[in-house]
Structure 1
Amino acid sequence: MVTQKRSHPASSENRDPLQTTGINRRGLLLGGSLIAASAVATTAFPNAGYAELKEYPPGTTFPGRIGRTIDESQPAWPAPIVAKPGSPNVLFIVLDDTGFGQLGCYGSPINTPNINRLAEGGLLYTNMHTTALCSPTRSCILTGRNHHSNAMACITEGSTGYPGSNGLIPFENGFLSEMLVGQGYSTFAVGKWHLTPAEQISAAGPYNRWPLGRGFERYYGFLSGDTSQYYPDLVYDNRQVEPPKTPEEGYHLTPDLVDKAIGFIADTKQLAPEKPFFLYLATGAQHAPHQVPKEWADKYKGKFDDGWDAYREKVFAKQKELGVIPQNTVLSRHDPDVQDWGQLPADERKLYARMMEVFAGFLEHTDHHIGRLVDFLEQMGELDNTLIMLISDNGASAEGGPHGSVNENKFFNNVPDDLQQNLQALDELGGPKYFNHYAWGWTFAGDTPFKRWKRETFRGGVSDAFLVHWPKGIEPKGGVRTQFAHAIDMVPTVLEALEISPPKDIRGVTQSPIEGVSFAHTFNDAAAASKHDTQYFEMFAHRAIYHDGWRAVCPFPGDSFAEAKASFGELTLTEDKLRELDAKGWELYNLTEDPAETNNLAETHRAKLIEMIALWYVEAGRYDVLPLDSRGTARFADPRPQLTKERDTYVYYPGTQSVPENVAVKVLNRAHTISADVDVPSEGAEGVLICHGGNTGGYTLFVKDGKLHYVHNYVSAEEFDIASTESIPTGKLTLRYEFEPTGKPDLAHGKGTPGKGRLFANETLIGQGELPVTIPLLIGLGGGLSVGRNPGSPVSELYTPPFAFTGKIFKVTVDVSGKSTQSAEEQHKAAAMAAMKRQ
């Protein structure tokens, strides 16, 4: 474990961005002496004995002369890879779970002045599409190939053993980073990754599908689908690091990521000013947890008290005023799954309004720090020649459920939220204590004017915000573009703008054809026709097809959960059901006349519908879409190749930190023992021996005030503390916790196995207690397994992290050989639920 350390000014907003690297503006401090930057850039050394430096393309014939001695020889050097003079920088900014109607420039009342500025100085696209889910879309953004071609039918945790869904993005589908690094670009990735198989993100690797294995030269961010904004699981290049500050010291992930992005750029531009960069910045905001300093959320006090329907009406009117949607657009209906705001009790309205205030503050906060990056580029004189593309990876998220949550871990463990508990959290929503997500009434409002949301292929799930800013390459300013486009079109557009041909091979691997098409021709021609005529969509068996202005959609299980009499969760598509859907489940929309998909023409235009259905199957065959898989949690539990087989005994050593849940020992709902071999000095010791999770749920074994404690944090609803009745001995000894199940789990109702816990010092029983309920499915959203300290949010309120153990730990052994109380099916389901949050 390597811990990142650096000093931070009190406010990152006002610092000189060039100082984030520690490099002097006027030169480089090398060996204690200041060397002028111009001297460092000098390539001619007249006293070296050579009249001229001769270079040649790598891989070609050596053009110099080789004699028997140096006097009879003439040197020549393989030329370094240098980008074409004047090549633009490229910046991708990827927002998470941001709906079509949530940015200011798309009609939202949420203040996003910096994103608006990019739209005003560039082009705002109103017909961009994604896949409806994060990892699949991100794979399209970076490769220019469809998500099934990238084996990304789902997030990596939901991979299945088929070519279009195994979660292993083929190396023949090169990333833009791999293409540009071969053209002399510096390449940086910052923020959310979520493109590596979940089984491969631990310290055991392999690392070839981490960012540095896919063409990025530097990386700082988190590898999974979400993380706490205050206690993130951070990776720097190929090693795990800790945040540079604590929440109490003002830490938040977004400014940290932007600081790092600025530093990466500054490092390169100060040393090689002519070298262009490609920066992929994916902050992870606006994904849950919706966390932001209170003053940002407070800016929106009272702004959403009139509810989600009122929000939709106001945004819809503003969108027409801005020209974001055609004047003939009809606002989609009130969603049957969403409560009537006017019928809600006052307490619920108060809670839901505050949840939206926090989300709005979170988005404005994100915009502010994007603005810092843009200001930095402008200060450096690089903004005009930086091709910026900003996109959301899918529509707004409904994963908060119908009522929202102050601890999303309850949802993933089937534990119902309690309104009174949620109301008690009002003053602290957005802070480090809660892992909150708004109610899906705000989801449907956030996708105005469209219906539905993330995970579904109606336009609410796949039509997303997108803008392009490049003053040097785009003449119009503040224009709107209506051409159909898809995330797979970003790579070919960049390559055309840079005048670069797609490479035939990358690192010896022959490359597949890029499947997207460039829209660069629309930059300076608003009337240009789209070159993207046909595009399929599929997510969790929810299907759609676009062709020449028409769209056919086959929703599964139906237009809403209420109408389909289904729940948000496990849905099974059988062969009989598929035949029924293909016969009468498809809907047809003419987008020219009906952009928001409100008038289903399936009955009146049957021939057109049959043509569209057939076209969907043609595309499905071409891009490895089949088999259709509607499963939610069940698919996440499918067996997958592992580095090692499951075992009865797991041994961890001091320094082990944040082992991801999918590769950590699984102790839920089964008998187990945790044994820590330690050396306690004569004056005693305290601190964490082993912990897993955070303040959203988990367990921790620790010593405090001389007593041994085991705390089980049941999804932050209750802490069960088993403490020793006497102080632990000093010297070398084994401290042990044993869990004996006394009943069966009730997974459907959010209750894990009850049991009896016992504490031992060597073989002496020193404490015991009952655990009436335990976490059923997911340890926690707050962190992985760690030994010797609690690095993130505290698993227990009985200590303040990191609460490092002050004695010596030799090893911690976890034995799970006791007979499990879970069936194999239940264990699969538990593993599946752990993956649900990684979207």
Structure 2
Amino acid sequence: MKFNFMIGLLLTGSTITAFAQKNKKADTRPNIILIMVDDMGYSDIGSYGSEIQTPNLDNLAKEGIRFREFYNNSICAPTRASLITGQYPHKAGIGYFDVNLGLPAYQGYLNKESLTFAEVLKNSGYSTLMSGKWHVGGDSTAWPNQRGFDHFYGFIKGASNYFDIGEYGQAPPVELVKDNKRINLKSGLYLTNEITNNALEFLDEQNKTEKPFFLYVAFNAPHWPLQALPEDIAKYKGRYSIGWDSLRIERIKKQKALGISDPNQAIAKRDPEVPLWDNLTYSEKQLWEKKMEVYAAMVDQVDQNVGRLREKLKELKKDENTLIIFISDNGAQGGYSATNRRKPPRNTGPIGTAGSYDYQEQSWAYVSNTPHTNYKNNMHEGGISAPFIAWFPKQIKGGNIVKGTGHLIDLAPTFYELANTTYPVKLNGVTTNPLPGKSLLPVLTGKSETVDRGEPIFWERAGNRAVRKGKWKIVSTYPAYRWELYDLEKDRSENNDLSAVNTEIVNELSADYFKWADKTGVVDYEKIKPANPNGAPAAGPVKGAARRGNVE
């Protein structure tokens, strides 16, 4: 009798528990997917003026919103530090690169006071997932799983091969990490696809929960080395025989037709370091064409994988309640000429194969950054401007193009507002750095044309500096300390330096810069410049090339 009574109690308890679990209200807050590509220029997708086939991204743009002005930090690690924490890179500990220069602002990995978006959203009840490139701390204590991500697949440092051996060529094993376990990419697989495969795997597993998810997909394409699948390269055979001079004109015309560039927008002055296409020999043209064919193929493959992510959302019936954002970490990489040119460490196969260590180089990067001046690692618009697409059927009206003037520091506040999450003053006993950015939701939802931040945007990296305040921008390129001044409403291509006739504006913005630098931990680059940067990118252009970007 007593035994039967106990059994009854257990069954009743189990029934109540099962009923409670079944009727537990699901968390209906929006899902978030953040997609970042690497070293891709402002005009390298169709909806920003490109001839490269990017139908999936173009569809996101058509159904979502595009910014004409969205800023990054001009180079990989500092960009990712701002993106992941919502802080300026120095405040997060990565003011130079993932290299420790001995000061808190330059320690080379994310500090504990700068919470990652994964830490904040996980604490708020989100599943947090990442697939791709990390590059904000090489020590295992600073890996993604230790900074708030439930699951991670990808690589920790700044660059990776896309495949190792097989029909595509031969190269060393591709070293990766999955949830703190070191693994290698299986032979014959292509890393861009595998980044997506693992993201899809994480989404399938996460779908078993009642939580909303945050997924960060950090593709390394089209960062060097130029390696792509033969079938993708074949799509672009002969497309680039017109050369960079004609293609650049073609892109600016398309940008104006799309509304990405103002009809009165002038294209940036021709880079004197880039040779005229018509002056090249036949064999030189063949080599350069191949570079851009492979580069285009790498962007094309990213777009195909964006399509796969969208298909998974539809399959899981989560597409209507998911925000997707697409950006690039910096402008396209220059470094074409003189002693500053990147020299491939080895080439055991043709451009595009696993044995290729070539890269796009300045002549084509000059096209990729159309209509802007300069390249990656420089604070002119070509270095810090990215395409920005946001798609969210519930809140974003399709087809809009706005000025925007957003920055990486604005994404974390956007996610937290969308997730109805408060950024904590303290977490796990650590007092956090306050967030300097502003939510983008007023712009995304059509309530504003630009981000109302009430203060300038600032940049510094290896002595290269800039300030954006309203329509005005000052910029200086290391080792020079002279400020240039541009009116970006009339001259976003930065063709006309107005510093000599507007000294009061230069002085005002310069004063703003030094106040920001002091409170952010920025140190004069000459005082911390590494004698041996351990593979980190150079500080600035070589002497005599004041408007040329650099390479990693």
Is residue 2:367 matched to residue 1:445? yes
Aligned with 1:499 (options 385, 396, 420): 420
TM-score by length of 1: 0.59
Cα distance between partner residues in 2 of 1:102 and 1:529: 23
Decide which of 87, 93, 96 is 1:151's aligned counterpart: 93
Q: Please give the alpha-carbon distance, in whole angstroms, between the structure 2 residues aligned to 1:185 and 1:165.
A: 31
Residue among 340, 343, 365 paired with 2:279: 343
**Structure label with greater radius of gyration:** 1
Counterpart CA distance in 2 for 1:154 and 1:527 is: 34
1:487 positional shift: 0.4
Q: For the structure 1 residues 632 and 284, does the alpha-carbon distance in structure 2 shift closer, same or farther, using more than 3 Å as the test? A: farther
Q: CA deviation at 1:169?
A: 1.5
Cα distance in 1, alignment partners of residues 75 and 244 from structure 2: 23
Question: What secondary structure does 1:260 align onto?
Answer: helix
Of 421, 446, 458, the match for 1:536 = 458
**Shift in alpha-carbon separation, 1:313–1:528, aligned structure 2, 3 A:** closer
Query: Equivalents in 2 of 1:346, 1:102: separation in Å?
Result: 26
1:291 corresponds to which residue?
227
Name 1:701's counterpart in structure 2: none
Task: In structure 2, list runs of 5 or more residues that go unmatched.
Answer: 1-8, 165-173, 537-549
Which of 440, 449, 472 is residue 550 of structure 1 equivalent to? 472
Deviation at 1:146, TM superposition (A): 0.5
What is the CA deviation profile of residues 389-446 of structure 1, one whole-angstrom value per residue up to 9, with x for unaligned ones? 1110000012565799997216xxxxxxxxxxx8x96xx3211121221231011111
Moved over 6 A (4+): 402-407, 630-633
Give the SS at the match of 1:611. helix
What count of residue pairs does the alignment treat as equivalent?
518
- The answer to whether the 8 Å contact 2:403/2:449 transfers is no
Partner of 1:257: 195
Q: Distance in 2 between matches of 1:618 and 1:115?
A: 39
TM-superposed deviation, 1:527: 4.2
Q: Alpha-carbon deviation of 1:135?
A: 1.0
State the alpha-carbon separation in 1 of the partners of residues 214 and 519 from structure 2: 31
Shift of 1:51: 8.4
Deviation of the 1:483 alpha carbon: 2.0
For each residue in 1:202-228, what CA deviation from the matched residue of structure 2 results, as whole angstroms up to 9, or x when unmatched? xxxxx3211110000111111111111
Partner of 1:95: 37
Q: CA deviation at 1:506?
A: 2.3
Amino acid at match of 1:614: A
Asked whether the equivalents of residues 403 and 440 of structure 1 are also in contact (C-alpha less than 8 Å), the reply is no
Question: Within 1, Cα distance between the matches of 2:342 and 2:518?
Answer: 43
Aligned partner of 2:148 among 206, 212, 215: 215
Structure 2 residue aligned with 1:114: 56
In structure 2, do the counterparts of structure 1 residues 308 and 498 end up closer, same or farther at CA, with 3 Å as the change threshold?
Answer: same
Deviations 1:127-177 (A, max 9, x none): 1001101111111111111011111112213x3112221113111110010
Distance 1:287 1:327 in 2: 31
Select the residue among 161, 166, 169 that pairs with 2:107.
166
The C-alpha deviation readout for 1:475-528, integer Å capped at 9, x for no partner, is x10111212111010000111122211122222222220111111111222644
Partner of 1:468, secondary structure, is strand
Q: Distance in 2 between matches of 1:84 and 1:489?
A: 28
2:445 to 513, 524, 531: 524
What is the Cα deviation at residue 450 of structure 1? 0.4
**CA contact 1:83–1:183 (8 Å) conserved in 2:** no
Aligned-pair identity in percent equals: 30
Do residues 141 (structure 1) and 83 (structure 2) align?
yes
Separation in structure 2 between the aligned mates of residue 447 and residue 629 of structure 1, nearest angstrom: 29
Q: Which residue is 2:72 aligned to? A: 130
Question: Equivalents in 2 of 1:601, 1:311: separation in Å?
Answer: 30
| Match of residue 625 from structure 1 | 522
Deviations 1:55-83 (A, max 9, x none): xxxxxxxxxxxxxxxxxxxxxx9x9xx99
| Match status 1:510 vs 2:431 | yes
Report which structure shows greater RCO (CA 8 Å, sep ≥6).
2
| Structure 2 counterpart SS, 1:473 | coil
Within a 5 Å distance, the mapping from 1:470-481 to structure 2 comes to: 470-474=392-396, 476-481=397-402
For the aligned residue pairs, the C-alpha RMSD in angstroms reads: 2.6
> Is 1:469 the counterpart of 2:409 in the alignment?
no
Amino acid at match of 2:35: I
Distance in 2 between residues matched to 1:609 and 1:406, nearest whole Å: 34
State how 1:566-581 maps to structure 2 within 5 Å: 581=481
Note the residue ranges of structure 1 that are not aligned, 5 or more in a row: 1-44, 55-76, 201-206, 411-421, 558-576, 638-660, 663-835
Residue in 1 aligned with 2:124? 183
- Partner Cα distance (1:348, 1:403) in 2: 20
- Inter-partner Cα distance in structure 1 for 2:62 and 2:474: 33
After TM superposition, list the pairs within 5 Å mapping 1:606-755 onto structure 2. 606-629=503-526, 634-637=531-534
The equivalent residue for 1:785 is none
Structure-2 change in CA distance of 1:303 and 1:217 (3 Å) = same
Query: 2:72·2:329 contact (CA, 8 Å) conserved in 1?
Result: yes
Query: What do the CA deviations read for 1:670-697 (whole angstroms, capped 9, x no partner)?
Result: xxxxxxxxxxxxxxxxxxxxxxxxxxxx
> SS where residue 127 of structure 1 aligns?
strand
404, 416, 424: which one aligns with 1:483: 404
The one-letter amino acid of 1:591's match is: L
Q: Taking structure 1 as reference, are residues 252 and 631 closer, same or farther at Cα in structure 2, changes over 3 Å only?
A: farther
Aligned mates of 2:387, 2:302 — CA distance in 1: 15
